[in-house]
Amino acid sequence: MSGSRPWGKIILFSSIALFVISWLIKAGVLSSTGGVTDISVRDAFFVTLAAFLTLAILSFLYKDNPYYKFAEHLFVGVSAAYWMCVGFWSTFVGNFIPRVSSTLSGFFGVPFKEFNVFYLIPLILGVMLLMRLSSKTGWIARWPLAFIVGTTAGLNLIRYLRSDFVNQVSNTFVPLLVEWKGIGPFFSGFSLSASGQFTLSLTNWVIFVGTFCGLVYFFFSKEHKGFYGGASRLGIWVLMVTFGASFGYTVMGRVSLLVGRLTFLFQDWLGLIS
């Protein structure tokens, strides 16, 4: 908003004017289609607000500008408070209060369950965390941190081992010669169709070799030379092919999101399409 002050002001005033006009027209349209005027005015305000914020974010594509900054800062403030409120009501009031105090439960209007001394521990740990605000007592905050990190490290250790390790390893247990009943039957049933024995076997081979080379690529303590070098190079090739394919595949989903946003602008706000 520095260099071209007059232009900036003109744009600002015209966008405020446009906002008001849009609000009024929208309110008129909504109430004419049979709504209570009060609610129409409110709904029209919110639709217009949503539309202008959408445009403000899209303006980021041109360059960083005051409208984007406005939307961004508003977004940050509102979202931080949103999480705090949700966390307070659902976790603190919903889970914690009914276990520690009947008076507070009454105050917040949640049914008191029964006093449970174990629920005082997170309270203490939480207060310890708040000690961080003072530089003298800050080190106490490490206790709750250590509790969280320790608990979840144990949890994650098992989770990684089970779902990423054992399950994936057992998934590699596929026959390299599908439905093997000897050489004769294998070749007599030879076909190149997608569900044929030969194609399925070939697929399993490709998956095995791909996984093998990929794992070799992740060897850290071996120099990638000779056999390791070849295998790890093949491994990174497979990775790259995969990344390209995933990238290309995701385009569809992202375009759908934009379609949804533009449909909101054209349909819900401007009413250009039905």
Residue 112 binds to another protein (criterion: CB under 8 A): no
- Structure token pair of residue 61: 């594509």
Minimum distance of another protein from residue 190's CB (angstroms): 15
Residue 12 binds to another protein (criterion: CB under 8 A): no
Minimum distance of another protein from residue 251's CB (angstroms): 6
Residue 190 binds to another protein (criterion: CB under 8 A): no
Residue 181 binds to another protein (criterion: CB under 8 A): no
Residue from 13, 92, 190, 227 binding another protein (CB under 8 A):
92
Minimum distance of another protein from residue 10's CB (angstroms): 19
At 262, the amino acid letter reads L
Q: Which of residues 223-242 bind another protein (CB under 8 A)?
A: 223-224, 235-242
Which of 2/32 has CB closer to another protein?
A: 2
> Hunting for tokens 């232009």 — which residue is that?
7
Q: Which of residues 139-168 bind another protein (CB under 8 A)?
A: 139, 141-158, 160-168
Minimum distance of another protein from residue 185's CB (angstroms): 14
Minimum distance of another protein from residue 35's CB (angstroms): 16
Print the SS3 string covering 143-155: HHHHHHHHHHHHH
> Hunting for tokens 């403030």 — which residue is that?
77
Of 4-12, 13-21, 24-32, 79-87, which segment contacts another protein by CB under 8 A? 79-87
Rounded Cα–Cα distance for residues 225 and 232 (Å): 9
Please tell me the count of residues contacting another protein according to CB under 8 A. 151
Rounded Cα–Cα distance for residues 233 and 242 (Å): 14
Question: What Å distances lie between residue 272 and 117, 125, 133, 265, 269, CA to CA?
Answer: 61, 56, 54, 9, 8
Query: Are 71 and 53 in contact, with CB atoms under 8 Å apart?
Result: yes
Residue 210 binds to another protein (criterion: CB under 8 A): yes
CB environment 28-38: b (16+ within 10 A), e (fewer): eebbeeeeeee
- Considering only CA atoms, give the Rg of the chain: 31
Residue 16 binds to another protein (criterion: CB under 8 A): no
Minimum distance of another protein from residue 66's CB (angstroms): 8
Which of 4/95 has CB closer to another protein?
A: 95
At 23, the amino acid letter reads W
Site string for another protein, 40-69 (x = CB under 8 A): --x---xx-xxx-xx--xx-xxxxx---xx
Minimum distance of another protein from residue 24's CB (angstroms): 17
Which of 28/210 has CB closer to another protein?
A: 210
Question: What Å distances lie between residue 30 and 41, 83, 271, CA to CA?
Answer: 8, 32, 11
Query: Are 150 and 125 in contact, with CB atoms under 8 Å apart?
Result: no
Cα torsion for 157, 160, 163, 166, to the nearest 10°? -80
